[in-house]
Every structure is written in C-alpha cells, then in structure tokens.
Amino acid sequence: MCALQVPTLLLWKESELVKAHYPLIVSAMDAGVSRMLTRRCTDVANRYCGALDDMTYLIEPGSGPGLIGACCTVYSCRESRYFRDASLLSYIHEACDMLLRVCHPNGTLDFLATNFYTPATFEIQAFCRGYKNFVHYMQGTAEECAARDHMLKALALLAKGCLNGGFHTPNHRWVECAALLMCHNIFGWKELREKVDGYLSEGIDCDEYGEFTERSMGCYNPINVNSMLVMAEEGNLPQLEEYAQRNLELTFQYCDGDGAIFTRNSRRQDKGEERVYPGHLWYYLYLWAGEKFGNLKYLKFAEEMFRSSVMEGRGVPAPLWLYLEKPQLKALDVDLSGVALPTSYHAFYPNSNILRVRKGDFSYTLLANNPDFLHVKFGKATMTARMCSSFFAVAQFAPTKIAKTETGYRMTFRAHGEYKGLFPTPPASSDWFQMDHSQRPVLNPCDLDYTLDVEDQENGLTMRIRVDNTPHVPFKLEFVVPAGTRLETSQVILDTTAGGELAIKQGDARLENVETGCEVTVRGLFANHMYHKTMRGSVPQRKDAFSLYATDWSPVNREIALCFSHREHARAISAPL
C-alpha cells in the first residue's frame, strides 16, 4: 500500500481502468518491498539470516521465497525504482542460502508459528512467479545468471519437499498441485506431474453452485480460484477453468451493499469477521479471469474493487507479477461504462445451507448450523438475530438445515430434556464414572420444538416464530445491533451503546445506520418478561453491541417483520415557531 493523491483517481475513465491501475500498483509494490527490506534478518549468526521478521521476533523461513519473489518482480519491472537494482541480487542470494541451510533433507520447511516438516506450497508459487519474470526480463549478466542458478538450487529443494510432504485441509491439495505444476514446468521431473494426477483423481471439491468445501469467501475461496487458474495454465488443464469461473460467479452473491463480502458461514478462520473487503483477495483474480475469458463483468468488478480500495483508504492491491507475466494487461482498453454488477439477488444454496438476498443497500442472510441464524446488513451496519428458551440449558436455536417451502424457507429445531431414575439393582461400584448409567430408567422426558418460517417481501422479510410442545417455558428473541445505531420507538429515541439492552413491550423499533441513512424497522415486538441476557444455555450477550429483546412464554406464535427503507429527510423533533 502507498499514499496516493486521491484527486487523480477522480479523473479515471472506465475505459482506462488497467492503464490507471498499473502505475499505482508499481508504486505500491515498491513501497511494500521497501518496508519488507527493513524486516530482513541480517545477523549472520542467526540460522534464519536472509529471511523476514514477522514482527513477533519469529524469523519465518517460509518468508524467504516471498522475499525472493518480490525482489525478482521489482527487479524485472522497468517502471519500478528497483529496476535492475544490483542490491536485490544480494538479498536473493541470502534468502537462497537460508533456504538451503534450514530446509530438512526431504525438502520440507518448518512454519514456526504452527506447522513443522511442511511443504512450502504457498511459498513456491510466489517464488516461481518471481523467478519466471526474472528469467524472462533478465539481460543475462554474470551476476543475474549466478542469482538465477542459486534460485534454481533452492527451488529444487522446495520442489522435493512438495513430493515428500502432505496436506492438512482440502484447499491445500490444490495449492500443492499448483506449486507442483509450476515446478514441473521449470525442472521437468515426471514425479511432480504424477503427484498432481493423483490428487486430481480424487475429484475437485466444488459443487454445482461453485462452492468449495471450506466455504471461505474471505480467505480460501480466492486461494482455490488461484490454484485452478494456475493448474489450468501451467498443466494445460483447461477443464479446471470451469471451477474457477463457478466460484467467481458465486462470489457476486456474497457481496453486500457497502462493498464487503459475507464470511459468516465460512469453515475457516475468516468466519465471523465483521467486515472483509475483497480488494486484496480478489482483485487480481477477476482481472486475470476477465482478460482471459473476455468477461466484462469480471473486469468491472476488478475496477470497482480497485477504485473503492484506494478511495476508501484500504490500500492498493499490488499483483505486479501478473502484469509482468501478462504484459497485455498494461494496454487493456475496454469500455466498461455500460457494464452493471448485480445489486439485487435471491440465491439459495442448499448444499451450504445458506440463503443470500440483496436489495441494493440492504441484504439478509439465513444460516443453518449457527445460533446467529439471521444476518441483516443495512448500510454499513450488520444486525444478527438469535433465539433461545430456558429449557434444560439446551434450547439455543441452532437448526441444521434450511428447507425451501412454497412461500419461503423453514428452519426447525428440537430441544430435549429428561431425568434419570434409580438403578433397577444397585451398581457394583460407588464410583460414578464406573456406573453404567444407560441402565437407569428415563423419567419425565419432554421436548421443545421451534419452527421458523421466513418469507421474502418487496422491502424486507417476515418471520413467523412458533415454539411448541412443553408449555410455560421462558423464550427470548434477540437482535444484536451495532453500538452507535439510532433506535427509535413511538416513545423513545436513543443511540445504542455497547453492552446495553432494551425489551419493548409492544410495537415497533426503527434502527438507523446514521452514516448511510439506511433503516430497518422491526415490527411486532413483544416483551412479557425480562429474563433474557442471563438466560441459562443461551449465547452470552455481546459486550461490544446492543441487544434488542422480544420475550414470551411457550407456546409462542408470533410474527416479526423487518422493513427496509432509506432516510429521506431530517428526523428532527418538531420545534415550535
């Protein structure tokens, strides 16, 4: 990332997107390399000399390939201030020496933060991209040839590590395959291609909607798309392009009105991150695929991500290696003025148990396998909903499936409670843990059943909530609202505060994201007790947000409507003339 003169961006024409991006990307890459070099370990007594400090005083050996790739990239870029800077060659040599010194004999590396004897699959991709551009643009001086040969020696050891290493997670297979094929095109070892063929024989874990196993929009989905595109090009496997394109299409249905992407149903570390913007993750993939497939929608999205990332201060995506590898991108001249990105959609993905609905600046998401079963985005604010009953501490609503109905969607959940009685005959031991408690009779079993029906409406949605079976059970519905949201009822106006709560006995509540003027009105609220934030068995109240409660006793049969609107004028309280 680098500091930019924002007014320059206002002069962009949509037919000049890549021409405008490229100089900014070069500047950002230069700034990144400059910062990177300040983190080099230069202590010759340190076994990791030549690698980078990760700012926790761990010198990760896996940072060496990234340093090599970055140095090769700017060295090869005529517009970079590091173009053919001989000092970079010495840093490349030091990083290669480090890798040859610290790699295990089988070619694997230690990732000091967590994994040991790991194949450097992600790192090899960065290494190979830099190496390929270096070899393509080098002049052939003795110094350059020496650096090239040193890189080949280090890369060969890492490639050996790929042959001897394994994986932890589904996506790592495809990252490894991409690395194997990149190395195969450099070294020609048949074993590299054979291992790729073995992985491919397992099949690609991408469903008909384009979703990968890990469902990780904020991390591993773009990694998978990258791997598919790399394998398609490096391995002459065009059939893999389909999986990349499926996921690229799917991603549009995960974009919210403020430009963020939804990650709450991820199976990986990006799950639940409050706001993930796609620029640095997805920009180069849509640019790459847009040019490759002639897809103007992809190029339009790349343009939108780049523009918003820069204009809103999130930095400049800097895939300079891609522009060097595919120099036609520098001259790409496409008129995108008539290309529209989707701003409204209704998408149900039964395999992932998620419903995504967007209506311009508003969106809502139904999720199974999550106590936060509903997420509503209005402007830059996200409200979540969850419900629970005080029933044996096991009645937090967390349905496992979303079912499509004739009028909408249904989610159900059953909580069960029971007691145990005396053994028919005394146990052999008084040790509780040695007793066979399955022999005890079950007494007073009871169930509590939830049924939630959700119907889409033109400007929002309705929820029909039923809680049946066991009577007189305390119930709560909780809306978790960001602090700083304007809340107004017929009698009260307040700005929500972190850790606060309110239960409204009857009526509606208007919630306003003041910055954007986007509003959600919650209609049909109710409150018949105040046993909510301390309810046993419920998810704890969030301390960084405000809770709006609706409470009742079973049996419950209630309808809640969420109505979306935009602020049209000042909502000032009347002042007398």
pLDDT at 9 over 60: no
Euclidean distance between CA atoms 522 and 509, whole angstroms: 5
pLDDT at 13 over 50: yes
SS3 470: coil
The answer to whether 260 and 280 are in contact (CB under 8 A) is: no
What is the pLDDT, as a whole number, of residue 569? 85
Percent residues over pLDDT 90 in the chain:
89
In terms of phi and psi (left: phi > 0; alpha: psi -120 to 50; beta: otherwise), the region of 28 is: alpha
pLDDT at 73 over 50: yes
Angle, to 10 degrees, between the axis of helix 170-187 and the axis of helix 220-234? 30
The tens digit of pLDDT for each residue in 216-231 reads 999 999 999 999 999 9
Percent residues over pLDDT 70 in the chain:
95
pLDDT at 4 over 60: no
Of 556, 492, 494, the closest CA to residue 528 belongs to: 556
**Mean pLDDT lowest among 14-18, 212-216, 261-265, 306-310:** 14-18
Radius of gyration of the chain (CA): 28
The tens digit of pLDDT for each residue in 431-470 reads 999 999 999 999 999 999 999 999 999 999 999 999 999 9
What is the pLDDT, as a whole number, of residue 423? 96
Tokens matching residue 293: 């497939």
pLDDT at 57 over 70: yes
DSSP letter string, 160-183: HHHHH---SSHHHHHHHHHHHHHH
Mean pLDDT of 287-302: 96
Euclidean distance between CA atoms 109 and 333, whole angstroms: 43
pLDDT at 208 over 80: yes
SS3 273: coil
| Residue 464 burial (CB count, 10 A) | 16
What is the pLDDT, as a whole number, of residue 3? 40
Burial of 131 (0-12, 13-18, 19+ CB in 10 A): buried
Mean pLDDT of 181-202: 98
Euclidean distance between CA atoms 222 and 285, whole angstroms: 8
Mean pLDDT of 64-86: 98
- Greatest Cα pair distance in the chain: 91
The answer to whether 383 and 375 are in contact (CB under 8 A) is: yes
pLDDT at 474 over 60: yes
What is the pLDDT, as a whole number, of residue 221? 96
What is the pLDDT, as a whole number, of residue 1? 36
What HEC string does 250-271 produce?
Answer: HHHCCECCCCCECCCCCCCCCC
pLDDT at 7 over 50: no
Mean pLDDT of 175-184: 98
What is the pLDDT, as a whole number, of residue 571? 75
What is the pLDDT, as a whole number, of residue 74? 98
Euclidean distance between CA atoms 506 and 165, whole angstroms: 62
CA distances 476 to 74, 192, 396, Å, are 58, 57, 10
Confidence of residue 19 (pLDDT cuts 50, 70, 90): confident
Confidence of residue 94 (pLDDT cuts 50, 70, 90): very high
Confidence of residue 574 (pLDDT cuts 50, 70, 90): low
C-alpha of 496 from chain center: 28
The tens digit of pLDDT for each residue in 384-434 reads 999 999 999 999 999 999 999 999 999 999 999 999 999 999 999 999 999
Euclidean distance between CA atoms 341 and 352, whole angstroms: 24
Average pLDDT, the chain: 94
The answer to whether 473 and 448 are in contact (CB under 8 A) is: yes
